[in-house]
Structure 1
Amino acid sequence: MRIEANPTRDKKIPIEVGYHRVIIPLYVPKEKDYYKDAFRIFKLCLESLIKTTSNNIKISVISNGCCNSVNQKLFNLYEEGLFEELIIEKEGIGKINSVLKALRTCNERLITITDADVLFLNEWEKEVVSVFEHFPKAGAVCPVPIYRKHKELTGNIWMDHLFSNKMKFSKVLNPEAMTLFAKSIGWPWLDEKYKDVILTLDSKKQKKAVVGCSHFVTTYKKEVFDKLPKGNTEFKISGDSEYRYTDLPVLKAGGYRLSTYDNYAYHMGNIYEEWMGEVFDEIKNEHNTYELDLQSLKNGKYAVIKHRFFTKLLKSSLIHLMLLKLKGLPKSKFKNFISGQN
């Protein structure tokens, strides 16, 4: 039986919108074997994020089939006020599907999707915002420049700057950070050929960004996700899920996929190492405030057409080499950059 009217009937939802939302999916089904350090690494990720971002940021954590002990720890952190949203999925529904739980209701101007093993460094947010400000067509910005991303869904950048000296191969600014990334994904070392030069783009005010970006930690303009597929992905991880839900939508929205020129975060992997704690201890608390007035993306149709045309160009090894030469790549490095030899 109902008595009187529901006091919330017909009332609008009061929404306090920040300018930046960070979404962290977490999968720790047990706290042993491969996952024995997973929660410790997640805490480093979360705490480094809190230390290095503005007061106006909002954090969503999605437990994607975590074990009960981890869920209890997450709830305790939520109760402490370390993040604004906690979503618990009892069964693992996959990385992208768990991200979608928070993503589809985000209202923030910028949305960062990050793996739970990223160590954020000072000024990462400032530098990412700076790239968006200097490059109005930027749709996604990664705070970690990764080797050989200059051909991945970047055809619109190439076609826009094919004969411009603003896009060229430049010296890698932080090669040791690239080496650390390689180790974090299981490579024992990184050959010099991967960390000497990288394709960059200069803005009108001489701000430099790297062409291409990874998706283990990336910040997006909100309108990118207007291009999301309607349903969920069938993959728990990898497959074509990240390509379809986080990479391709940037292109469809008419955006550039870029990275910061210097390195502002580390990928830690699944095993805790002493250097992680040492780096974390050196991170300073900074809570800058930014006034965002970013240009909206448009002309997504033309961006897709440009990318498809560029992809066809690359099918010719001769044209591929000509493009590399046009952008200043030394002839001695050609064989390490042509298709099939990356």
Structure 2
Amino acid sequence: MTSSSPSLLLQVKAQPTAIATLERALANGRVHHAYLFDGPDGVGKELAAFGLAQALVCERREGGPHACGECSACKRVIPKSGKPVHPDVMVLERGLYEPAQIGRRTPEATELSIDQVRTLVLARAAFPPHEGRAKVFIIRRADELSIAAANALLKTLEEPGRGTHFILLCSKPDTLLPTIRSRTLRVRFAPLPDGVVAELLAARNVDAEEARTMASLANGSMATALALADPDENGKRQRFVEKALAALDSPDMGIALELAEEAKKNKDSLEVALFALAVRLAERARTTAANGDRQADVAAARYALALQAARDVDANASAQLAVESMMVRMRSV
């Protein structure tokens, strides 16, 4: 999270409609008690959430939409190690806390647990803010709330205490309980334009040409673009790409089936690996087209299939089936 501008809301790029909605609410003193920030990962939802929280707890804001960014409250909202140090801004996220901190014996492996909701929300909901301005709960990846955790939130979401606000961040809102969705005001965040993603990558010292390539494949997500450009993960991605290309040249499906089986074990990094494969196929399409080779059409079709597989995985499709289906279709092109 950057600090080029004092107000975090002013740092959010290319989301004019969402930010205007929040600015109006702040300026009119009509901030909703529960928001659902809906959109792809890496498009500014979290920055906007902390920006709204910052404006709500700012010690100097008087009627305008933006926090001063300079008072003690504003500075303490900016998260460090994933969490702010301001006592009135709480973050909920699967695995963010040690089990003992939230009354558990085991880690939260797949869901944001009811234990976290009980410890961080229900135990504090009845009390006023520590410092008098507002109390804000930010829930990262709200689609990971367990059924029990979501149900435990319902009454508090419907009737929060005075000055209490919830901001749920979600890239898959349709997976939330309908009762959660009905108790929140939805604010949509769009995919970022490729030019903005390339600009942000370049600001992180990514080569300009590589930044443009990564941006074109990131589907408007800065999180995906950063993962594509991450050198620490490059080796793993390249092994996936090389094995996929070898599977395309193999006389049978043996290597392809191995790749699909491995994908099941590495689902967390699979989407980025598929984008890396798409990058390689796009390069192949450009090179062969420049040489007048008919294989350019084959590479272009395979590029589209890699992107489709990445979208399927993002939509929660089976990793193994997505890769297996992709390889079958690529081999038939």
TM bracket (short chain): under 0.3
Report the TM-score when normalising by structure 2.
Answer: 0.23
Task: From the two aligned structures, give the one with the greater strand fraction.
Answer: 1
Q: Tell which structure's C-alpha radius of gyration is larger.
A: 2
Structure with the greater relative contact order (CA < 8 A, sep ≥ 6): 1 or 2?
1
